[in-house]
A and B are shown apart, each in its own frame.
Chain A
Amino acid sequence: MAADLVPLTVAAPLVAAALLAALAQFLPRWVPDLTAIVVAAGVTALGVLLTLASRAHPIVYWFGGWRPAGGTALGIDFVVEPLSASLVALTGLLTTTSLVFSWRYFEEVGHLYHALVLALLAGMAGFALSGDLFNIFVWFELMSVSAYALCGYQIHQSAVVQGAINFTVVNSTGAFTLLLGIVLVYGRTGALNLAEIGEALGSRPPDGLVTVAFTLITTGLLVKAGAVPFHFWLSDAYAVAPAPVGALFTGIMSDLAYHTFARVYWDGFSGALGSASAAVRDGLLALGVASAVIGAVMCLLQADLKRQLAFLTVSHGGVFLAGIALLTPRGLAGATLFVITDGLLKAALFLTFATVVRSLGSGDELALHGRGRTPREALPALIFLCCALGFAALPPFGTFLSAALIHDSPGPGWPFPVLAACLAVTSAAFLRAGARIFLGWGPRHDPLLTSAPGKPGEPGEPGDGEPDHGGGGAARGRTALLIPALALVAAAYATAFVPGVAAEFITASHSFEQPRQTAHQVLTGHLPPSPPSASYTPTPGAWTTAAAATAAALALAAVSLRTPGSRPGRLRRVLVPPAKALKSLHDGEVGDYTLWFTTGLLALGLAWTLTLR
């Protein structure tokens, strides 16, 4: 029964998007709003249903009934297993929330907005579920093209044009790289189906072509995910996306690319690269830890709230990649749970920023110094605090459980303290911003922080990428705008208390990492044995590390709020030059970003050519 519903996850939003694109201009505003919300809520429900239905074994759906014959895939399939399905549910939930928010948020919205959001939703759902490598590329492009258009939605502002162009050019470069990798794999195996590729590559040690193809595919997906050094476009683009769209980008879109990478690795390449898994692990861990560290440092050095969140996305994406890179069920389970809990918090915070920007007139924490010190801002302040503490893996809530799973995974021990420190640093950035805005603590100026050029805006002016709105309407419907954000925070915190959630994710990850069983099911329809059930309680070490991370976040926020005069001069002199150097790399030049992309591609290729054998 559930199997018949699989295509609806992409068909429903695509059909609704097509209808709305054709008809929305003739309809009153509430019709497209309501249609889009109903469809997105439907996808959420489907995602939850499929997560529950696929717990015993994955659901394989062949479009048009083109089943494989003699071990050769003729059609295109969706492979639904709990991890992908739960990410589809998250995508649906965030899209629903974002649409509910935009109903009140946009006073006027073009008639294509809803169609684009639904196309983005379909693209993300297909990207998460597709079991065919070329089909993954097509969903990747559908998702990206809708995202480019949505990112540049407030096109009359020049920062928005620049952000959208950088996004489009760098992501397209990544897409071509991905496609080249796919073509090389097809040339070698004659297959596009992931299960069939896995069977065809077998367990022979990888040769040059497989290494090159794997590097190209990895790079293509990491560009989308925003891993260092492919992340430069991300801060330009996410900082100018309108809030409801930005919440989708930062909440799920980046992280989906990591998840798809994990699927491509396990289903397609894990056999061939199995003997070299230590080299794969080290390469990915290096990228993950680099992303976590550079993202966290850059996050702390920003004064603009949306840019802070963009760099937080890079940093926490690195944590996700590191979790995947451990190549263990616990690592993958923790990473996926982290995407869900952290994604809910990031989306909630992005929506809260939008209301803060609207009522206080700026998205810059220095410009907003003390402006939020009114009872009216108590609710946004509360959401700020909850999200910031959630980012630091505050025990015993949702993000803690995910981080604890990564901590308790077998594998090298050195990455976890670094990742926990990065979580603490990103959390400190938001604790600092919240204290500055809502409590008026700390100095009004800080030369270490990147601030928006020009004078701070007056209340009522739109921030970069945000829509204009009628003056004087700042306070109207604010609580209604904040309810979706509050709901997301509550969901993120409550995830840890769903009975057996960690064990379910470990079980699902265990089957995820048995690609031969899945391939057998995909190609012959033979159901795999039920996975062994797991159990999990966080170890004392995980509790201690997470508590230390929370404490460190509070301490670091306090340190960074001290006035410059009272800070030791030597420490400042030591800190300023490297901070400036790191910032100067993020220069908004798409040419430079492409050069970094090329460098990263060559470095990864070289490293894996030398080590994968």
Chain B
Amino acid sequence: MAPYPYAVAGVLFVAGLYGIVSSRNYIHMAVCLTVMQSSTYVTLICVGYLNNGQPPITQGAQPGKPLVDPVVQALTLTDVVVSVVVLALVLALALQAHRRTGSVDPDRLRGMRG
């Protein structure tokens, strides 16, 4: 297995993290969270991948060729479901922030500090 997919996952993770650190917009921040979560999909899939493997469907599988790991694919699906819920929540909160302050800038929405 080539290291490239892991590099892609690393880049996605760091890019998402950088986006959140520097974000001035809650919608942008929600997208950055999704980018960051994409790195977990890539890692999951490439951990279970086999060179010259075939899809994990036993019916009609070619004999002699290994199946890729079906567990990580199930995990990825679970992960996608989780990400949808979190994304929906952040967007709903961003919508509320816009209703309160007319803006989605974190600076306009201030609770107590210090």
| Residue ranges of A at the interface with B (Cβ–Cβ < 8 Å) | 134, 138, 141, 145, 148-149, 152, 155-165, 168-169, 172-173, 175-176, 179-180, 183-184, 186-187, 192, 236, 239-240, 301, 304, 307, 450, 452-453, 464, 583-584, 586-592, 594-595, 598
Contact partner, A159, options B17, B47, B106, B112, Cβ 8 Å: B112
Candidate in A134, A162, A591 with the most chain B CB atoms within 10 angstroms: A162
Please measure, in the bound complex, the distance between the C-alpha atom of A239 and the C-alpha atom of B79, giving whole angstroms.
30
B109 within 8 A of A: yes
Cross-chain contact A145 with B86 (CB below 8 angstroms)? yes
Cross-chain contact B71 with A192 (CB below 8 angstroms)? yes
Please measure, in the bound complex, the distance between the C-alpha atom of A175 and the C-alpha atom of B114, giving whole angstroms.
26
With contacts A162-B109, A236-B111, A586-B114 taken as known, whether A169 is within 8 angstroms of B89 at the C-beta atoms is no
With contacts A176-B37, A180-B40, A583-B114 taken as known, whether A168 is within 8 angstroms of B90 at the C-beta atoms is yes
Q: Closest CB of chain B to A176's CB: distance in Å?
A: 6
B85 within 8 A of A: yes
Inside 8 A of B109's CB, which chain A residues have their CB? Answer: 158, 161-162, 165
Cross-chain contact A590 with B20 (CB below 8 angstroms)? yes
Please measure, in the bound complex, the distance between the C-alpha atom of A4 and the C-alpha atom of B72, giving whole angstroms.
30
Cross-chain contact B82 with A180 (CB below 8 angstroms)? no
With contacts A179-B79, A590-B106 taken as known, whether A161 is within 8 angstroms of B21 at the C-beta atoms is no
Cross-chain contact A165 with B71 (CB below 8 angstroms)? no
Inside 8 A of A187's CB, which chain B residues have their CB? Answer: 47
Inside 8 A of B47's CB, which chain A residues have their CB? Answer: 183-184, 186-187
Q: Could you write out 28 A-B pairs with CB less than 8 Å apart? A: A138-B82, A145-B86, A148-B89, A156-B96, A156-B100, A161-B93, A161-B100, A165-B93, A168-B86, A172-B86, A173-B17, A173-B36, A176-B39, A179-B40, A180-B39, A183-B43, A183-B75, A184-B47, A186-B47, A187-B47, A192-B71, A236-B111, A583-B114, A588-B110, A588-B112, A590-B23, A594-B20, A594-B21
Q: Closest CB of chain B to A87's CB: distance in Å?
A: 24
Cross-chain contact B40 with A176 (CB below 8 angstroms)? yes
Q: Closest CB of chain B to A245's CB: distance in Å?
A: 15
Residue of B nearest to A595 (CB): B21
Inside 8 A of B79's CB, which chain A residues have their CB? Answer: 179
Q: Closest CB of chain A to B17's CB: distance in Å?
A: 6
Cross-chain contact B17 with A587 (CB below 8 angstroms)? no
Cross-chain contact A165 with B97 (CB below 8 angstroms)? yes
With contacts A169-B33, A591-B22, A594-B20 taken as known, whether A453 is within 8 angstroms of B93 at the C-beta atoms is no
Residue of A nearest to B10 (CB): A180
B68 within 8 A of A: no
Please measure, in the bound complex, the distance between the C-alpha atom of A587 and the C-alpha atom of B33, giving whole angstroms.
21
Cross-chain contact A161 with B20 (CB below 8 angstroms)? no
Cross-chain contact A586 with B113 (CB below 8 angstroms)? yes
Please measure, in the bound complex, the distance between the C-alpha atom of A20 and the C-alpha atom of B40, giving whole angstroms.
33
Q: Closest CB of chain B to A140's CB: distance in Å?
A: 10
Q: Which of B30-60 contact A (CB under 8 A)?
A: 33, 36-37, 39-40, 43-44, 47
Dominant secondary structure at the B interface: helix
Count how many chain B residues have C-beta atoms less than 8 Å from C-beta atoms of the other chain.
40
Residue of B nearest to A598 (CB): B17
Candidate in B13, B20, B107 with the most chain A CB atoms within 10 angstroms: B20
Q: Closest CB of chain A to B59's CB: distance in Å?
A: 21
Q: Closest CB of chain A to B34's CB: distance in Å?
A: 10
Closest 4 CB pairs of A and B: A159-B111, A583-B114, A187-B47, A158-B100
Please measure, in the bound complex, the distance between the C-alpha atom of A588 and the C-alpha atom of B108, giving whole angstroms.
11
B29 within 8 A of A: yes
Q: Which of B56-97 contact A (CB under 8 A)?
A: 71-72, 75, 78-79, 82, 85-86, 89-90, 93-94, 96-97
Residue of A nearest to B114 (CB): A583
Inside 8 A of A160's CB, which chain B residues have their CB? Answer: 111
Please measure, in the bound complex, the distance between the C-alpha atom of A122 and the C-alpha atom of B95, giving whole angstroms.
29
Contact partner, A186, options B13, B72, B89, Cβ 8 Å: B72
Please measure, in the bound complex, the distance between the C-alpha atom of A595 and the C-alpha atom of B17, giving whole angstroms.
8
Inside 8 A of B86's CB, which chain A residues have their CB? Answer: 141, 145, 148, 168, 172
Inside 8 A of A592's CB, which chain B residues have their CB? Answer: 21
Cross-chain contact B17 with A158 (CB below 8 angstroms)? no
Cross-chain contact A589 with B106 (CB below 8 angstroms)? yes
Cross-chain contact B85 with A145 (CB below 8 angstroms)? yes
With contacts A169-B29, A173-B36 taken as known, whether A450 is within 8 angstroms of B112 at the C-beta atoms is yes
Candidate in A176, A240, A453, A598 with the most chain B CB atoms within 10 angstroms: A176
Cross-chain contact B21 with A172 (CB below 8 angstroms)? no
Cross-chain contact B112 with A452 (CB below 8 angstroms)? yes
Cross-chain contact B114 with A162 (CB below 8 angstroms)? no
Contact partner, B111, options A141, A145, A158, A595, Cβ 8 Å: A158
With contacts A148-B89, A165-B94, A598-B17 taken as known, whether A183 is within 8 angstroms of B23 at the C-beta atoms is no
With contacts A152-B93, A168-B89, A591-B22 taken as known, whether A162 is within 8 angstroms of B111 at the C-beta atoms is yes
